[in-house]
Amino acid sequence: MSDETKSDFLIAFIATAIVVILVIVFGNTGSGFFRNLMVFVVGSLIGTPIAMFGKWVVSLFSDNELYKYGSFILGAIVGAGIASMMFSNKLETSFVSQCTRSYGISKSICECTYHKFEEKYDDSLESILTSQFDESTTNFMLKSMQECK
């Protein structure tokens, strides 16, 4: 492997890592260290080769360095997007989004509340969160929100 290829690979990996971190911080990958770690690892593993392939394709048509680095960013975005889709918890994302919009409280309190639901209703969580809340579920949610503050 030539020195230029090694440096391109390093640049592609760094670009991918930065984009994946931005997706984790600002995107809807859900919460949890393990999920975010998997998004980072898989996003980097997918995005880096895509970025290198994009650089190779661009080099067939142009010698412009700007295009080469643009292909790195595009590969990084694709890798991060695929990884975030693979590991996002759609139920949690939906709950947190609805919670922040409906009640106007912080994302961290809504995530904490979701995790309390997860602990209590483990096997039936999806059916409970996707149906109309009864009085006991509503009381549990309000109590959880208070505890999460």
Please give the C-alpha separations between residue 10 and each of 6, 53, 60, in angstroms, as whole numbers: 6, 14, 21
Structure token digits, residue 148: 């999460």
- Of 7, 11, 15, 8, residue with least CA distance to 43: 15
Higher-confidence position of 3 and 105: 105
DSSP conformation class of 63: -
Q: Which pLDDT score, from 0 to 100, does residue 27 have?
A: 65
pLDDT digits (tens, 9 = 90+) for 12-61: 888 888 887 877 777 656 566 777 777 788 888 888 888 888 888 888 88
pLDDT above 70 (res 94)? yes
Residue carrying structure tokens 């661009």: 58
Higher-confidence position of 106 and 91: 106
| Beta carbons within 10 angstroms of residue 74's beta carbon | 18
* For the chain, domain boundaries: 3-87, 90-148
pLDDT digits (tens, 9 = 90+) for 52-92: 888 888 888 877 777 777 887 888 888 888 887 777 677 78
d(CA 49, CA 52): 5
Q: What is the pTM of this model?
A: 0.56
| Beta carbons within 10 angstroms of residue 52's beta carbon | 20
